[in-house]
Amino acid sequence: MEKPNLPFKQSEYDDRLLMVRTAMAMAGLDALLVTDPSNQAWLTGYDGWSFYVHQGVIVTQDADPIWWGRSQDTNGALRTVWMQDDCVIGYSDDHVQSDVKHPMEDLARHLDGLGLRNLGVEMDNYYFSAKAFSVLLQALPNIGFADATGMVNWQRTVKSEAELTYMRKAALISEKIVNGLLDRVEPGVPKNEIVAEIYRDAIRGVEGVWGDYPAIVPLLPSGANAAAPHLTWDGTPFVSGEATFFEISGCYRRYHAPLCRTLFLGTPPEDMKHAEAAVIEGLDAGIDAARAGNRACDVANALDACLQKAGIERAARCGYPIGLSYPPDWGERTISLRAEDETVLEPNMTFHLMPGLWTKDWGLEITESIRICETGPAETFSNMPRQLFAKP
């Protein structure tokens, strides 16, 4: 029986599980331990702020996945995963942040009874520690381990229609946030007050669409501080004569649609307006190149050609895949829009096309979240004007 309140139909979870099992078979894995909370949610529906402790999903070829985590979090799993209750197991709280017991010792006892030969683990993500791996190695000496980093992530690259619907709803919230910023930011207004309004707009959402918490906090450095792309905020006021870029995303049911815009209080200098024109031209070229059958590098090269024509050198990648995510990142950590990545683009892949410029004197971000279409150039999730905004 299908559980109520699942974000997706059971058939979609079944399709996802089949995709992962196929990838496991190709890699020669009997089982896969999924510790990335985004991958856990994508496979099972699990949704809770419990990823600060050890938890995971065990995927095998011949049984429903098992959600494993802290005992008190099993109640959340029972209410959010699609599997039956006997597929939810927990470890006792004396394993949490203990110098005597480790949660992976409990997990090893469960894995040991499955008769496994080869287990895949997500070696390089934020949620699987060196200690966790060390404990598993010691407790399971007869099991071979393989690095399965990204195995589930790669299955997530092409979005279903239901996922795209969630991302379009997230984009509506993103637009509301940016419009609110443009209205409220004035010289003398403290940054923390603006961030408070960002969260108000983000969580209230739009009519008929409630807002979830985004995987990244608002980023809004000003002036020369905008040379650093990942600064957050403090209580200092906005001042005239400076640009601030705002990197935000609406979020609905954990799905994101990032949107960045830049606001100058006063009259922008000529070098910034020159950069604005090049970035907008580059965005248009990148969106046009983001077609099914083209490669990730084709998008990056189209954008970079416009910047280079304007005499602007930019070394960083210009985009990454987006969708379902948890802190600390709303990217999916697979494809990169850069010159070295020759991944072929497929319909319904989704990206944050992000050609930020960070000079020693200012930063400029004008970005779009996009969908690769069946034919023609990419669709943008947002309808916000692409420009450097200015308020006298």
| Residue 303 pLDDT | 98
Joined together, the tokens standing for residue 228 give 């650093």
Domains (range + CATH), the chain: 10-155 (3.40.350.10), 161-391 (3.90.230.10)
* 265: Cβ contacts below 8 Å, ≥ 6 apart: 185, 186, 187, 238, 239, 240, 241, 242, 243, 244, 390, 391
Indicate the pTM of the whole model. 0.96
The answer to whether 89 and 107 are in contact (CB under 8 A) is: no
Closest by CA to 350, choosing from 168, 214, 149, 178, is: 168
Joined together, the tokens standing for residue 147 give 């690095």
| Residue 5 pLDDT | 84
Rg (CA), the chain: 22
Q: For helices 103-112 and 130-139, give the axis angle rounded to 10 degrees.
A: 40
- DSSP annotation string for 302-319: HHHHHHHHTT----S--E
DSSP state of 375: S
Cα separation, 258 vs 180, in Å, equals 15
Phi-psi region of 97 (alpha: psi -120 to 50; beta: other; left: phi over 0): left
Cα separation, 172 vs 123, in Å, equals 35
C-beta neighbour count of 200 within 10 angstroms: 12
Under-70 pLDDT residues of the chain: 1-2, 4
Distance of CA 234 to the CA centre of its chain: 24
DSSP state of 95: G
Cα separation, 70 vs 95, in Å, equals 8
Closest by CA to 118, choosing from 23, 32, 36, 19, is: 32
